[in-house]
């Protein structure tokens, strides 16, 4: 066994051990979100991303592993996740050019991130469109579960061969289940459909008094329901175990 194999073997053992620490991680998330709005503290390339740092690292790992040419994201907010995805696509373009010894136009790419949101605030749209990564970003305003929006996304996806999906909009069971039915089938084999904020299932019932979601009605319950009839997806337990602190427990779905 060489040094790299020894390192990877130790990592696998460590990840397996971390599974038992899940409750400690949930307690941290519960306390940090309630008391401090922790996820609002971070930006990606200057744009608010509203994600835990661990999940940001996970997305980077997944994008590098999958090497998608299309990333579909529901939920835009300030646009930080779109910028993260676009910047990773730019790095994939650069890496390919380096390997091939080719020259590229940094503003032109065969890769794209497609963002959907029912309400793209004008100041957020403007900031996204002015960002250096904007040439790889396309936005559609409308409900992610509306037929016309779904049809637009499917038509766009026909032009791409390696698709990655992130779901992070309305967090009710019915909405997320509808998103899964619409967009998970677009996920390429070996790629992921990542469902965010499944952690709602593990939070106190009174944590979201002004929201329609909560324990029993959230992204995790939608994932569980979807997986009953979709054996082509499996939960990547290694991902959530090694992250420990993640809003996407049972939400890292890999297509097999």
CATH code, domain carrying 91? 3.40.50.150
Other C-beta atoms within 10 Å of 225: how many? Answer: 15
What CA–CA distances, in Å, run from 16 to 152, 240, 251?
41, 11, 18
Task: Take residue 162 and report the two structure tokens written for it.
Answer: 């390696």
Please state which of the ranges 6-20, 142-156, 188-202, 220-234 shows the lowest mean pLDDT.
Answer: 6-20
Segment 2-29 mean pLDDT = 84
Please report, rounded to a whole number, the percentage of residues in the chain having pLDDT higher than 90: 84
Q: Which domain holds residue 219?
A: 3-255
The pLDDT, as a whole number, for residue 12 is 85
Q: Rounded mean pLDDT of the chain?
A: 95
DSSP 34: H
Number of domains, the chain = 1
Task: Take residue 149 and report the two structure tokens written for it.
Answer: 């929006």
The answer on pLDDT for 30 being more than 80 is yes
The pLDDT, as a whole number, for residue 17 is 80
The pLDDT, as a whole number, for residue 165 is 99
Maximum C-alpha span of the chain? 57
The pLDDT, as a whole number, for residue 34 is 66
The pLDDT, as a whole number, for residue 231 is 98
CA distance 134 to 72: 15
Which residue in the block uniquely carries the two structure tokens 């809003």?
247
Considering just the CA atoms, what is the radius of gyration of the chain in Å? Answer: 18
DSSP line for 184-226? GGGSPTT-EEEE--GGGGGS-TTS-TTSS-BTTBSHHHHHHHH
Residue 244, C-beta contacts closer than 8 angstroms, at least 6 positions apart: 18, 21, 22, 24, 25, 54
Segment 72-95 mean pLDDT = 98
CA-closest candidate to residue 153, choices 181, 194, 131: 181
Please state which of the ranges 5-9, 33-37, 92-96, 143-147 shows the lowest mean pLDDT.
Answer: 33-37
């Amino acid at each position: 066994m060489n040094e790299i194999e020894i390192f990877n073997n130790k990592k696998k053992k460590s990840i397996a051990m971390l599974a038992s620490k899940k409750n400690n991680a949930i307690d941290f998330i519960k306390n940090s979100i309630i008391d401090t709005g922790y996820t609002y503290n971070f930006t990606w390339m200057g744009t608010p991303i509203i994600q835990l740092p661990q999940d940001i690292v996970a997305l980077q790992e997944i994008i590098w592993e999958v090497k998608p040419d299309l990333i579909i994201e529901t939920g835009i907010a300030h646009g930080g996740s779109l910028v993260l995805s676009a910047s990773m696509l730019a790095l994939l373009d650069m890496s390919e050019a380096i390997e091939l010894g080719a020259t590229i136009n940094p503003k032109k790419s065969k890769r794209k991130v497609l963002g959907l949101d029912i309400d793209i605030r004008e100041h957020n749209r403007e900031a996204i469109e002015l960002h250096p990564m904007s040439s790889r970003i396309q936005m559609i305003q409308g409900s992610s579960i509306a037929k016309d929006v779904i049809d637009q996304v499917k038509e766009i996806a026909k032009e791409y061969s390696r698709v990655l999906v992130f779901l992070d909009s309305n967090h009710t069971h019915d909405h997320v289940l509808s998103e899964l039915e619409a967009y998970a089938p677009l996920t390429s084999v070996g790629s992921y459909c990542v469902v965010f904020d499944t952690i709602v299932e593990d939070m106190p019932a009174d944590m979201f008094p002004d929201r329609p979601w909560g324990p029993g009605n959230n992204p995790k319950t939608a994932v569980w329901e979807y997986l009953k009839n979709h054996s082509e997806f499996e939960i990547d337990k290694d991902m959530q175990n090694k992250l420990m602190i993640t809003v996407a427990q049972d939400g890292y779905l890999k297509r097999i």
